[in-house]
């Protein structure tokens, strides 16, 4: 008997549940001691794109005080704070997880007076009250089952000439079904993770143009290597905070992700694009 695949909304609900499980832990010693402090100058931005991606976003979009900006997957709010403080733009961060949005509001109690705020919502079922000059996100598409629908929405939400920037992870030619299952179990990365060519074709199909694409896979390799180095340096503190099993899983994931990036089973991209 042929089994029909589950409806798209059920798949995305499963992805969301996995992501909330992952990011509810995003303020524990593993992230803090191996990423935020040694690699981000204390800014709680965990993705491969990092602060360099935020600088790129400001420069690519030409951000200034007159611009309104939207971030999807704003986490603990530090990327919103960075864009607002470095470019003077008004920033709205949309975040699904209750734990993350509470951390953001606690960490940035004066955000409104500093030009940024947070909305708790499932952005696949959310409509903004205005259009934006720029939208950005860091490695969000790998956890979205129906990326095309989201990109179509973003295209509508941008003002003419507005910028979409993202850091993204795509499948290399050697990514096996077994590899995809690992990514799903550990981080909620969807099984239908596309290739670079498929991702760029989708962006063009929904109306984005003048794609500016930079391969930052080596940066991903370097980040995983640093995570391993800092994990061993701070093993005692991490184990005390989260237990030996969590430390072992963290190290295993850094090893596997590092190997995937070295072998280019996964590729990491920085992409800038504009609405016509």
Residue 274 has phi, psi (to 5 degrees) of -135, 150
Distance (Å, whole) CA 38 – CA 40: 6
Amino acid 98: pLDDT:
85
pLDDT at 188: 87
pLDDT, tens only, 253-274: 999 999 999 999 999 999 999 9
Phi and psi dihedrals of 248, rounded to 5?
Answer: -65, -40
| Confidence (pLDDT) at 5 | 45
Residues 35-92 pLDDT 10s: 999 999 999 998 999 999 999 999 999 999 999 999 999 999 999 999 999 999 999 9
Output the DSSP codes for 129-182.
SS-EEEEEEES-GGG-S-HHHHHHHHHHHEEEEEEEEEEEEEE-TT--HHHHHH
Residue numbers of the chain with a pLDDT score lower than 70: 1-25
Q: What is the pLDDT of residue 2?
A: 42
Is 0.95 topped by the overall pTM?
no
Q: Report the C-alpha gap between 170 and 198 in whole angstroms.
A: 9
CA distance 40 to 18: 25
pLDDT at position 244:
98
Q: Please tell us whether the domain made up of 8-275 is placed in CATH 3.40.50.150.
A: yes
Domain boundaries, the chain: 8-275
């Amino acid at each position: 008997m042929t089994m029909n695949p589950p409806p798209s909304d059920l798949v995305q609900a499963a992805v969301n549940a996995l992501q909330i499980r992952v990011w509810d832990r995003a303020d524990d010693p593993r992230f803090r001691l191996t990423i935020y402090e040694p690699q981000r100058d204390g800014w709680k931005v965990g993705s491969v794109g990092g602060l360099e991606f935020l600088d790129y976003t400001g420069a690519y979009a030409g951000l200034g005080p007159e611009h309104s900006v939207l971030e999807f997957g704003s986490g603990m709010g530090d990327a919103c704070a960075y864009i607002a403080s470095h470019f003077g733009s008004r920033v709205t961060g949309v975040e699904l997880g209750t734990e993350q949005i509470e951390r953001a509001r606690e960490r940035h109690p004066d955000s409104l007076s500093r030009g940024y705020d947070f909305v708790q919502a499932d952005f696949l079922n959310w409509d903004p009250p205005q259009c934006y000059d720029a939208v950005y996100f860091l490695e969000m598409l790998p956890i979205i089952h129906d990326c095309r629908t989201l990109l179509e929405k973003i295209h509508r939400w941008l003002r003419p000439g507005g910028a979409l920037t993202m850091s993204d992870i795509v499948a290399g030619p050697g990514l096996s079904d077994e590899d995809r299952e690992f990514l799903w179990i550990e981080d909620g990365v969807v099984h239908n993770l596309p290739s670079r060519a498929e991702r760029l074709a989708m962006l063009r199909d929904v109306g984005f143009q003048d794609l500016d694409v930079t391969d930052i896979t080596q940066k991903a390799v370097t980040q995983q290597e640093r995570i391993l180095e800092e994990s061993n340096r701070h093993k005692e503190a991490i184990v005390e905070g989260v237990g030996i099993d969590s430390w072992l899983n963290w190290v295993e994931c850094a090893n596997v992700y590092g190997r995937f990036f070295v072998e280019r089973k996964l590729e990491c991209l920085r992409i800038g694009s504009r609405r016509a």
